[in-house]
């Protein structure tokens, strides 16, 4: 039987602030939007069993909250990349390395 969850906006904002400062895991992940199926980087912060996300690390209000009660997580293998995809990735890495060398 699923339990109901009660919280108010003030409590959610407080927990979001705690998560940004003291959360178990914090960082940027890609989130797929519903309206156009594109991926956007969002800042995520995990605190206990609550995953908050916002536009960036400085956002005062979370854009969304996921309650992870009863959820499990498992690592899945990375999708296989085509030869063309590997070559494009290697080219990007070379360009970034060249830029890094020229900056120093």
- Domains of the chain, residue spans: 9-73
Greatest pairwise CA separation for the chain in angstroms:
60
Whether pTM > 0.85 for this model: the answer is no
CA distance to 2, 52, 61, 92, 96, per residue, from 65 (Å): 18, 5, 11, 34, 35
Look at the block and give the residue holding tokens 């108010």.
8
Say which CATH class 9-73 falls into.
Answer: mainly beta
Q: What is the pLDDT of residue 45?
A: 92
Confidence at 104, pLDDT banded by 50, 70, 90: very low
Condensed to tens digits (0 to 9), the pLDDT of residues 41-78 reads 899 999 988 899 998 888 888 988 988 888 877 777 77
């Amino acid at each position: 039987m699923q339990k109901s969850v009660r919280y108010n906006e003030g409590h959610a904002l407080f927990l979001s602030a705690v998560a940004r400062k003291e959360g178990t895991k914090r960082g940027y992940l890609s989130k797929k939007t519903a309206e156009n199926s594109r991926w956007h980087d969002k800042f995520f912060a995990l605190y206990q069993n609550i995953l908050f996300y916002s536009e960036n690390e400085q956002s005062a209000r979370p854009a969304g909250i996921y309650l992870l009660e009863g959820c499990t997580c498992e690592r899945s293998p990375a999708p296989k990349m085509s030869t063309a995809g590997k070559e494009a990735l290697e080219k990007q890495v070379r360009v970034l390395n060249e830029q890094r060398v020229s900056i120093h």
